[in-house]
Chains A and B, each alone.
Chain A
Amino acid sequence: MTTTGQVGARRRLRVDPVACDGVGMCAHLATALVRLDSWGYPMVPDRDLEDAELGAAGKAVAGCPRRALELR
C-alpha cells in the first residue's frame, strides 16, 4: 500500500465527470497530459503517472475552477 505524497507512489489523474464543466484550464496547465475531446472535456491518461509528470498534473488539479480533477 502506497501513501499519498510518498516518492514513487502510484498516482493517477482522475476527472470527476459530474463536476467538470469543460472549462479547459487543465489542458493549458498540463499540455502533455490532458487532451480535450471534440466537445472540450478533458481526457486524461488511463495509467499511473511518471514522477516527472506529477508537477504538471498537480498544477492542473490546483488550477481547475470546478475542483473536478484529482490526483490519487
Chain B
Amino acid sequence: MTSRPAAPRRTDADRAPATRPLPLLTDPVRVPLTGLGHGLAAQDLATHLATYGPHRAIDDLLTAVDEIGLTGQGGGHFPVAAKWRTVRESATRSGRAPLVVANGAEGEPASAKDQLLLATRPHLVLDGLAETAAAVGADETVLWLHGDAHLLHVAVHRAVAERRAAGLREPRVRVVSAPAHYLAGESGAVVRGLSGGPALPMTRRVPAAVEGVDGRPTLVHNVETLARTALLARTGAEAHRATALVTVVADGSRTVLEVDARAPVRVALLLAGWPVDVEPAAVLLGGYGGSWLPWDRAAHLELSPGALRAAGTSMGAGVLAPLPAGACGVAETARLTAYLAGSSARQCGPCVFGLAALADVLERLRTGDARRSDVERLRRWTGEIDGRGACHHPDGAVRMVRSALVTFARDVDAHRRHRPCGAAHAEALLPVPAGS
C-alpha cells in the first residue's frame, strides 16, 4: 500500500495499512452453555503482534470508524463515530477529562463472544481501548468485568502486565470488578457503579458521552467494538471487511464464530455445525431480549445491521438460537420471560410488576392452565410496559414476548385451549442461569 501519502510523523515502514482484512477469530470456538470451559488460552503479546501486525497504521481513526459505519456491539448498535464526536465536544465545552470504559461484563446468558474475546484476544481489546482513548483525548481507561469472571481477570491482568513490561505508551488501564448480576453490564449501571453508586441502571437526562462517570464525558464501549476498532486502526477503511461475531446456541453448547455480514442466518448456523438437512422451527435472534423469527423468515436474512433493521429486527448481542422442530416455543418463551423478570434491577414498577405478570401468564399458558383472556392480557401488558423503564431491559422482554405471540401463534392458541404440546414439559433448551 504505497498509494496514500505518508503522514509526516510516521517513519516506520511497517505502519503501512494492512492490505488484507484481518479476522477477529480464525475458527469457530465451541464453549459450554455457561462459562468458557477449559483449554482456551490467551494470545500473548508476541503472538498478538505476529497475528495482527504492529501498531496503528492510519491517522484519522474517527473518519475510518465513520466510513465503515461501526456500531456498538453490546446490543444497542449506536454509531460509534457519533459517540466519539459527542465525547470530544463535551470534553472541550466542559473542560472535563474524558474517560473510556471497556465493558466486558457480558450479561446476556446465551452470548459468549465478549468473554471469548477477552479470554483469547485480550491484547486486541486493549489495543482498541488505547486507540479509542487516543481518538477522544482520554488519558485514563477502565476495563469493567464481572467480579466472578476469574478466567477473564487472569487473562486481562496478565495482558496489562505484559504491555507495561514491553513499554507500550498508552493510558493506564484500571481493571474494575463489577457485581456478577445480569444488569451490571448495562451502560447506565456501568456509569453509576464507576461513580461510586450501585451498579444498577439509572434514569438519565443526558447521555454518558456528555456527562458520565463523575460528570466526565464517558465512552462505554463493548469489548467487541474495541477489538473491531483495533483491527480498523490496522487495516484502514479500505481493507475493512464487514463481519458479525455471533454465538450460536444449539445442541447443548454455544459456538462463537465470525461470519461475513452478508451471510444469511442459515449459513451462520451451518458454519456452527447445525446439520444441513435439518430445519429448525424458529430462531431467536439477538438474545433473550431479541426476537423469535419463524425459520422461513430467518433462514435467508442477512446478518448485516441494515438488512436486519429493514426486517424489523436487530443483531442485538449477536445470539442465534435455533428452536428445533418439535420443541415448544411457548415453553422456551415462558422460561426466558421468568428469567428476565427475575433479572430486573427491581427499580422501576413497570419492570418489577410487569415482567413478573408476563411471566406468570406465560407459565399458565405453558402448562395449559391459561384463562380465556390471558393472551389478550399479554398483548395489553406488553403495550403498557414498553419504554417505561430506566433502561431497556423491560423493552427487550416485551420484544421477545411479542415476537413469540406472532411466531408461535398456532402453539399459543393450542396452549390456550388447554392443549399444550408434548414438549411443553421438556427440559429447557436455552441456558437460564439459576439463582437469579
- The segment from B43-51, B101-109, B335-343, B347-355 that touches chain A is B347-355
A43 at the interface (CB under 8 A from B): yes
Cβ B203 vs Cβ A16 within 8 A: yes
Cα A19 to Cα B347 with chains together (Å): 8
A51 at the interface (CB under 8 A from B): no
- Across the interface, name the chain A residue whose C-beta is closest to B356: A39
Q: Which of B203, B357, B381, B388 contacts A41 (CB 8 A)?
A: B388
Please name all residues of chain B whose beta carbon is closer than 8 Å to the beta carbon of A39 when the two chains form the complex.
Answer: 349-350, 353-354, 357
B390 at the interface (CB under 8 A from A): yes
A45 at the interface (CB under 8 A from B): no
Cβ A20 vs Cβ B348 within 8 A: yes
Please name all residues of chain B whose beta carbon is closer than 8 Å to the beta carbon of A38 when the two chains form the complex.
Answer: 353-354, 357, 380-381, 384
Range for the number of chain B residues in contact with chain A: 10 to 19
Q: Which of B357, B381, B388 contacts A43 (CB 8 A)?
A: B388
Please name all residues of chain B whose beta carbon is closer than 8 Å to the beta carbon of A17 when the two chains form the complex.
Answer: 203, 347-351, 388-390
Please name all residues of chain B whose beta carbon is closer than 8 Å to the beta carbon of A22 when the two chains form the complex.
Answer: 349
- Across the interface, name the chain B residue whose C-beta is closest to A20: B349
Cβ B349 vs Cβ A21 within 8 A: yes
B202 at the interface (CB under 8 A from A): yes
Cβ A19 vs Cβ B203 within 8 A: yes
Please name all residues of chain B whose beta carbon is closer than 8 Å to the beta carbon of A21 when the two chains form the complex.
Answer: 349
Please name all residues of chain B whose beta carbon is closer than 8 Å to the beta carbon of A43 when the two chains form the complex.
Answer: 384, 388
A40 at the interface (CB under 8 A from B): yes
A1 at the interface (CB under 8 A from B): no
Please name all residues of chain A whose beta carbon is closer than 8 Å to the beta carbon of B201 when the two chains form the complex.
Answer: 18
In angstroms, how far is the closest chain A Cβ from the Cβ of B426? 31
Cβ B202 vs Cβ A18 within 8 A: yes
Cα A15 to Cα B388 with chains together (Å): 9
Q: Which of B188-231 contact A (CB under 8 A)?
A: 201-203
In angstroms, how far is the closest chain B Cβ from the Cβ of A20? 6
Cβ B350 vs Cβ A18 within 8 A: no
In angstroms, how far is the closest chain A Cβ from the Cβ of B125? 31
Please name all residues of chain A whose beta carbon is closer than 8 Å to the beta carbon of B385 when the two chains form the complex.
Answer: 37
A16, A37, A40: most-surrounded residue (chain B CB, <10 A): A37
Cβ B203 vs Cβ A18 within 8 A: yes
Please name all residues of chain B whose beta carbon is closer than 8 Å to the beta carbon of A15 when the two chains form the complex.
Answer: 388
Q: Which of B203, B350, B389 contacts A37 (CB 8 A)?
A: B350
In angstroms, how far is the closest chain A Cβ from the Cβ of B201? 8
Cα A15 to Cα B341 with chains together (Å): 21
- Across the interface, name the chain A residue whose C-beta is closest to B347: A18
In angstroms, how far is the closest chain A Cβ from the Cβ of B207? 16
Interface residues of B (CB under 8 A from A): 201-203, 347-351, 353-354, 357, 380-381, 384-385, 388-390
- What would 25 A/B residue contacts be, using CB atoms closer than 8 Å? A15-B388, A17-B347, A17-B348, A17-B349, A17-B351, A17-B389, A18-B201, A18-B202, A18-B348, A20-B349, A21-B349, A37-B349, A37-B350, A37-B385, A37-B388, A38-B354, A38-B380, A38-B381, A39-B349, A39-B350, A39-B353, A41-B349, A41-B350, A41-B388, A43-B388
Interface residues of A (CB under 8 A from B): 15-22, 37-41, 43
